[in-house]
A and B are shown apart, each in its own frame.
Chain A
Amino acid sequence: MVDKKKSNDVRKKQIVNNKEEKEIKDVKEIKEKNNSSNNIILSIKNASYRYSDAEEDDYALKDVSFEFESGKIYAIRGRSGTGKTTLLSLISGLEKCTEGEIIFDGKSLKDMNLDKYRNSDIGIVFQSYNLLPFMTASENIILSMDANGLKIKNKKEKAIELMEKVGLKEVYANRKVLRLSGGEQQRVAIARSLSYNPKMIIADEPTGNLDKQTETEILDIFKKLAHEENKCVIIVTHSSNVCDTVDVVYDLKNVKEK
């Protein structure tokens, strides 16, 4: 009986060691990739947007060109009315460019099924979380997996795993989201956006409703996602704290590399 327990412990240690080795290897690969200049996941080429009822030269967004690489965290900064949210809606495929184009992973969004794009390739995180209040935290995450058509045996287990990844304990899984704090809800929203392992996370003022400490914690999660999981994270923000944290800041008026 004792021998059996020992052998199990040894096997567990081996598994842990193997896992650690694999994680170290993965991080190395990610760092190598980060150094590559051909790591562009999204490029915006001369994108302009005009509302359908606007006058001919009244653009909400005019002639914007940015490039985003995997493994980096970006901030898009701009004063009110510069078209930050419009740009975010174009990147997330909720609106289509009036002029110019957006290329994701080598394909123009114009040629893509945007529903599929939203439920597979990108994850969106909003300032006001946009969770379904009548569902529990785990149900919100599972819904996103369902929308993606993810076929895994135990979706709830996976949801709990994701919640733990963003710093939420298992106990929150069965709680209705309205019973969670703002920071906790935003973590659930991030977990939801990660549920189908997208290549890119787009966040619209994700820390706008949160206190400083929670903001830092949330930004840490994003940094990890970019630097350890090679995801491209784009944050639309006003916050100077966010801009200080990210790798690249794009100003909608004055684009500059940090």
Chain B
Amino acid sequence: MFILKNAWISIKRNKGRNILIGIIILIIACACTITLAIKNTAVDLINSYESAYDKEVTISFDRANMMKDFDSSGAEGRENARERFDNIESFSISDVNSFAESEYIESYYYTYSIGLNGSNIEKAEIESNNNMPNFGHGKENNMTTTDFTVTGYSSLDAMSEFINGTYTMNEITDNAWDIAFDGNYVFINEELASYNDLSLNDKIKLEDAAGKTYEFEIIGIFKENEDGTDEPMSMFSNSANTLVTNASAISNITENNSNLKATIEPTFIINSYDNVEKLQAEFYEKGLDENFILQTNEELALSGVASIQNINSFATTFLTLTLVIGGIVLLVINMINIRERKYEIGVLRTIGISKFKLTMQFVFELVIVAFVALILGAGIGAVSSKGISNSLLESEINNSNERYEEIDKNFGGAGMPNRGNKGEMRGKGMPVVQAYDSIDAVVDIKVLLELLGIGLSLVLISSIASMVSIERFSPLTILKERS
């Protein structure tokens, strides 16, 4: 108790120095409150935006790795490359199931596609009379040689085109969703239905290259919402000749036909983007060819909160700098303080006050000053954090927009050219529409606890000076020096 009493007496005695320490801690506390409030709110916003997206991982072909040693000069080089390409081991459904048995994966789904020809229906296609050049946008697999692409989805989650609105269902049978994932049922494009005069519950027949036929019943007709087509001279949409069925139907077809080449596109929902590298290593261990890599949708998932992420990074840097500089300043002041109070330490040690109690007195002095400064700092920070954070965000968005307008001007100022897949150009650093245009950085209990933790850490760090000095000082030497 007397330690506290002495600490209080000492604070009152050294008003000037303690006010200076208090002001420094007040500034640190104020800066920390604002940055912590911004940081926490930004992280919450990012997490909530991120959680709206599943954390998806897909398996992609690693072109960069393949092209690394690619020698296109001469027939031999091309032949080697072809051989190497042919030797790449694809993966099967059982491989996908095996990959999915990982602690990092929460769920998974896949699409399973094959190419079949029509038996009692015709491909939606009108051939041009003049010999228009082929722009080469056709698919690279064997499906281009067949009439139809039959895509089987493993579950509703896998039907991403319907989820993201690329396709919408026009007509559907009453029990369609009860039977859609078990048996030979298909959803067809309205263009194909119209072209072949098909309607719900009609049966269509498809055949493979060997002439074996497979019968499917139409349980739904969908339309594609996106304009444009891969075939520049085609009047039909991309999905006109796509038949949507379930993965088990495709499995049944491929099981009895080893010549039929199928494409599997699995999507794994993972628990954290941080685990992607570990997951990839696990996949390689389970037999995935090393020419495949894992790709995430992280960039897309976070594109809407890029500005908030920038502010978060800024807040983190600012917080670190404040703490480092503040910590050093406090340490130096405390060292000077201790040197000034050497005599006092000598006297107190001589009358039998232990090193521990003496250290505690110095710590308490700093804790009392820090506590008052932290409360004031938290108050000022709480009042100003909202305004400062919104001003920072506004400035960040303005900067992004200026960059965007500059690039837009380079393209003639008539709006961004939309080439290829959506977002392709935006991926080069241009902002997408921001999900948030304000950030209500609030000082909540979490911020206050963090602030308290920071304050205590600073006090302890700056108390190191007194701890070391009290341990090192010999009371007799101090008193002799004084005498």
Binding site for B on A (CB under 8 A): 85, 89, 92, 94-95, 115-120, 124, 126-128, 130-132, 134-135, 139, 143-144, 146-148, 192
Number of B residues contacting the other chain (C-beta, 8 Å)?
A: 22
Q: How many A-B residue pairs have CB under 8 A?
A: 57
- A147–B347 touching, CB < 8 Å: no
Provide the residues of chain A in CB contact with B5, threshold 8 Å: 146
Cβ–Cβ contact A94 & B475, under 8 A: yes
10 new A-B contacts at CB < 8 Å, known A115-B355, A126-B350, A130-B479: A94-B474, A95-B474, A116-B352, A128-B483, A131-B347, A139-B9, A143-B2, A143-B6, A143-B351, A144-B351
Q: Identify which of B344, B352, B354 contacts A132 (C-beta below 8 A).
A: B344
Chain A min CB distance to B36 (Å): 38
Q: Which of B344, B348, B352 contacts A148 (CB 8 A)?
A: B352
- Spell out B's residues near A (CB within 8 Å): 2, 5-6, 9, 13, 344, 346-348, 350-355, 474-476, 479-480, 482-483
Quote the shortest CB–CB distance from B2 to chain A (angstroms): 4
Smallest beta-carbon distance A153→chain B, Å: 15
Cβ–Cβ contact B476 & A89, under 8 A? yes
Cross-interface CB contact of A134 among B13, B352, B353, B479, cutoff 8 Å: B13
Main SS class of interface, B: helix
Residue of A nearest to B352 (CB): A119
Residue of A with least CB distance to B2: A146
Which A residues are CB-close (under 8 A) to B348?
A: 143, 147
The 8 Å CB contact of A128, one of B2, B352, B479, is B479
Query: Given A94-B476, A128-B482, are A192 and B352 neighbors across the interface (CB < 8 Å)?
Result: no
Q: How far is the CA of A18 from the CA of B422 in the complex (A)?
A: 107
Main secondary structure of the interface of A (DSSP, over half): helix
- Contact status B350-A124, CB under 8 Å: yes
20 A–B contacts from the bound complex (CB under 8 Å): A94-B475, A94-B476, A95-B476, A118-B350, A120-B352, A124-B351, A127-B483, A128-B479, A128-B483, A130-B346, A130-B479, A143-B6, A143-B348, A146-B5, A147-B2, A147-B348, A147-B351, A147-B352, A147-B353, A192-B351
* Pairwise interchain contact B351-A118, C-beta atoms closer than 8 A: yes
CA distance A144 to B352 in the complex (A): 8
A190 to B354, CA, bound (A): 21
A183 and B181 CA atoms in complex are apart in Å by: 104
* Complex alpha-carbon distance, A51 and B185, angstroms: 98
Chain A nearest CB, measured from B348 CB (Å) = 8
CB distance from B56 to the nearest CB of A (A): 66
